[in-house]
Amino acid sequence: MTSKIWRPLRLGTPGRKEISIHNFEELAALHTVARILAQPGELRDQIEQALQEMSVRLGMQRGMISLLDRETGAAWLDVAHGVDIQGMDVTYLPGEGITGKVAQTGRPMALANLGKDVQFLDRTGARRNLNRSELAFLCVPIIYDNRVVGVLSADKVARQVENLDRELAMLSSVAELLAKAVHNRAVEEENRRLRHLLGRSRTPSADIIGHSGVMKNLFGMIAQVADSNTTVLIHGETGTGKELVAHAIHKNSPRLRGPLVQVNCAAIPDTLLESELFGHERGAFTGALHHRRGRFEEANGGTIFLDEVGELSAAAQVKLLRVLQEKQFQPLGSARVVRVDVRIVAATNRNLEQDLASGRFRADLFYRLNVFPLYLPPLRERGSDIILLADHFVLKYTRGMGKPVKKISPAVSDILLAYHWPGNVRELENCIERAILLAPGDTIEPMHLPPSLQPRRKSSEKKEQGRLNAVVEAQERELITNALRETRGNQTRAAKLLGTTKRIIQYRIRKMGIDPRPFRAQTRDNPDLDPEKG
C-alpha cells in the first residue's frame, strides 16, 4: 500500500467496481449517528458522540472536526475524540496541510501511510509517540448549502483498510449527516467570538460605568469568562463594585434564566453557616421548627455569589471546600444527599495570598476559587472615569429627588480628580447624592461637597496649582497603571516603556499608593493577557 493521495469514487464510475454500497455495520453506524443528531442537546456534545460512534463501530481512531472561518477560509479544530485538545488553539490556514487543503478545495483526501507523507502536520501532537507507518489518514469536507463549513478527519489502522475509496465514501456519508449540526456549530462559535470581541470594549452591564483602559480590559475578561461555567474570584477594594460584576457575569452567561443567589459570608455566624448554605431538617437543632432549603440548593441551575469569602473562619472554609469538591452535600440533620449544579462566583477585598502565607486562609480552597481571577481597579486608578461616574450619579439622583441640578462645576471636577477615594465608587456616589441635596441651583459647587473633600488652600494661585496638579496626577496614575499592565507588573520594563528610570517609577508608585502585585497575578493566572504571546 503506498502513501499516494486518493480521491473517492462516485457511484457508477465507468470501468470500476462500485464500492459505495455500505455493509450492515456501516449502515448501523450511520443510523446511530442520525439518531444522536435527532435528539435535543448541545451541538458540541452531539458531534462528539457521533465521533465516538465512528470509533466504536468503524474503527476510526482520533476523529476530529474543524470549523471553517467564512472570512479567512482558515479551519480551526473544534471537536475531537481520542485526542486531548483542552487548552489548544489549532488552526490550519487555507491550503495548509491535509486539513487546510480539503477545506480550501472541498475535495476528500486520504493517506495510506502517515509515515511516508510530509504534508501531514499533526498539530495536536497526538501521533508523536506512535508508529505513523501503521496508520492511514482520511479527511473529507463537510458541505452544507453548497459551501464547505468544516472538515472531518480520522485515523485508522492501516492493515484494517482494504480500500481507501470505500473508507472515504463511508466518511463522506457521515459528513453529510453531520453537515447541518456542524453548520449550526460554526454559526454558534462565530457569534460567541463576535460577542467576545464586542465585549472587550463594551460594558457588560448598564450598571457598570467606565471608559478607561483598565475598565475596557475588565469588560473583555468578563465577556471571556461569562460564557463558561468557570469559577471566578473577584478581587477588589471595598466599594469598587464587585457585586455588579458578579451580576454581569450571571446575566451574560448561559445560566441567565437560573437563579442568582447572593451570600454575604462575613454576616453569617459560624454556628449558622452550615444551615444557611446547606439547609436543615425540622428538629435538626433547637429552634429548627421547619425544613429549610440552603442557599446552594436555591441556586441549583444558576449562580451563587459568595461575597466577602475571605472573612470565612477556618471551620467554615472546610465546609465550603467539601461542597466545591464533591458538588453535593447533606442538609443539617438529614441523611439525604443533595446534588447541585451551581456556578461559583466569589469576591474578596482581602489579599488572600498574604492570608495563605499566614495560614489564615486554606490553600486548597483558594485554588478552588481562584480559577479565573478578576481584578477590579480602585477608583483612584481609573482617571477620567471619576468625572464620568460623577455625571452618571448626578443624573441618577436628580431624577429621583426632583432637583434642578444638571452638572458639576470645573472646580468640583478638579477636587474629585485630586481626591484619593478610599471608599471608591460607593464613596463617590454618596458624595454626589449629598451634594445634590445641598445644591440650590443647577450646578454642584465645592461648598456642597463633604468636609473631607473641601479645598483647604484659599489663594487663587494655590487653587490653580492644585487644579493642575490634580489633572497631572490623574493622568500620570493612569499612564503608570497601563504600563504596569502591559509589562505584567515588571517595574523595570514599565520604566523603559514610559521613558524614565526604574528608581523614579518605584518612587511614583509608592507615592501614589499603586499596588503592582495584582497586575502580576492577573497575567500569571490568565496567560492570554501576556503581551509577549500576541
Helices (H) and strands (E) in the chain, counts: 18, 17
For residue 223, the model assigns a pLDDT of 87
pLDDT at 279 over 50: yes
pLDDT at 418 over 80: yes
For residue 32, the model assigns a pLDDT of 80
pLDDT at 513 over 90: no
Collapsing DSSP to helix, strand or coil, 141 comes out as strand
Query: Exposed, middle or buried by CB within 10 Å (0-12, 13-18, 19+), for 226?
Result: buried
For residue 199, the model assigns a pLDDT of 52
Residues 6+ apart with CB under 8 A from 260: 246, 247, 250, 299, 302, 303, 304, 305
Least confident range of 105-119, 336-350, 435-449:
105-119
* Biggest distance spanned by C-alpha atoms of the chain: 103
- CATH class of the 459-534 domain in this structure: mainly alpha
Query: Contacts from 449-454 at CB under 8 Å and sequence distance 24+?
Result: 449/412, 449/415, 452/419, 453/415, 453/416, 453/419
Percentage of residues in the chain having pLDDT higher than 90: 19
Q: Are 473 and 500 contacting, i.e. CB atoms less than 8 angstroms apart?
A: no
- Grid cell for residue 420: 484619593
pTM (2 d.p.) = 0.52
pLDDT band at 533 (very low <50, low <70, confident <90, very high): very low
Domains 24-195 and 386-456 share a fold: no
For residue 18, the model assigns a pLDDT of 41
Q: Where are the domains of the chain?
A: 24-195, 213-375, 386-456, 459-534
pLDDT at 448 over 50: yes
Collapsing DSSP to helix, strand or coil, 444 comes out as strand
For residue 116, the model assigns a pLDDT of 67
Mean pLDDT on 183-208: 70
For residue 164, the model assigns a pLDDT of 81
For residue 349, the model assigns a pLDDT of 93
Mean pLDDT on 456-472: 57
Mean pLDDT on 244-257: 92
For residue 171, the model assigns a pLDDT of 84
Least confident range of 229-238, 328-337, 354-363:
328-337
For residue 291, the model assigns a pLDDT of 67
Tell me which H or E stretch contains 347: strand 343-348
Mean pLDDT on 22-51: 78
pLDDT at 276 over 90: no
CA atoms within 13 A of residue 20's CA, in its CB half-sphere = 11
pLDDT at 289 over 80: no
pLDDT at 13 over 50: no
Least confident range of 68-72, 213-217, 331-335:
331-335
Pick the CATH number of 213-375 from 3.40.228.10, 3.40.50.300, 3.40.50.620, 1.10.357.10: 3.40.50.300
Q: Chain centroid to CA 235: how far?
A: 16
For residue 3, the model assigns a pLDDT of 39
Phi, psi of 209 (to 5 degrees): -105, 135
Phi-psi region of 92 (alpha: psi -120 to 50; beta: other; left: phi over 0): beta
pLDDT at 399 over 90: no
Helix axes 385-401, 410-418, angle to 10 degrees: 120
Task: Just give the CATH number of 386-456.
Answer: 1.10.8.60
pLDDT band at 37 (very low <50, low <70, confident <90, very high): confident
pLDDT band at 166 (very low <50, low <70, confident <90, very high): confident
pLDDT band at 456 (very low <50, low <70, confident <90, very high): low
Collapsing DSSP to helix, strand or coil, 284 comes out as coil
Cα gap 311→306, rounded to integer Å = 11
Task: Just give the CATH number of 24-195.
Answer: 3.30.450.40
For residue 1, the model assigns a pLDDT of 40
Which is it for strands 303-307 and 343-348: parallel, antiparallel or unpaired?
parallel
pLDDT at 534 over 80: no
Least confident range of 2-11, 146-155, 425-434, 523-532:
2-11
For residue 185, the model assigns a pLDDT of 82
| Alpha-carbon separation of residue 45 from 37, 182, 230, 257 (angstroms) | 10, 12, 18, 21
Residues 6+ apart with CB under 8 A from 367: none
For residue 532, the model assigns a pLDDT of 40
Mean pLDDT on 407-430: 90
Which is it for strands 260-264 and 303-307: parallel, antiparallel or unpaired?
parallel
pLDDT at 246 over 90: yes
What is the average pLDDT score of the chain?
Answer: 80
